Amino acid sequence: MDINKRNDKKLKLGVIGCVIVIIVLTVLEFPAPVGFETRPQDNVSLGWLILFLLIVITEIATIPLILKKPKLGSIFGIIAGSLNILQVIADQLHLMQPEVAPLRYSLLEYSVAAVSVVLIYLSLMEKRNYE
């Protein structure tokens, strides 16, 4: 097997792994009893819901695209990672909810941001393979 094909397969698996980890962490960010969110949800802006749906759709679309159309899938991975980081920043700046996030929830968000940075990096490496 060619070394480039092995690296390409590892990059694809890395992208898929990052997306799966982000989705699991996102589920843990849901309100109780599912996740760790304890802030009241009645004052969350509609913009958060739209951004959340956009992020989830982009992440889910990344998985089949990275396997079937790697260049397009890598672009979706970059977008998904960037949107996740944007969401974390917006929440920490209280743009989506006026209350301060508890420490456990903030740590989950920072974990999502860290994995998103890895997702962006792996997606960029995958995209470079097809240019």
**pLDDT greater at residue 44 or residue 78:** 78
Cα 3 from Cα 18, distance rounded (Å): 22
Is 81 buried (19+), middle (13-18) or exposed (0-12) by CB count in 10 A?
buried
pLDDT class for 45, splitting at 50, 70, 90?
confident
80: amino acid identity, one letter: A
Which of 35-49, 62-76, 103-117 is predicted with the least confidence, judged by mean pLDDT?
35-49
**Domain residue ranges of the chain, discontinuous segments joined by +:** 3-36+44-129
- What does the pLDDT average to over 105-110? 94
Cα 35 from Cα 25, distance rounded (Å): 9
What local confidence, expressed as pLDDT, does residue 4 receive? 66
Instruction: Give how far the C-alpha of residue 101 lies from the chain's centroid of Cα atoms, to the nearest Å.
Output: 19
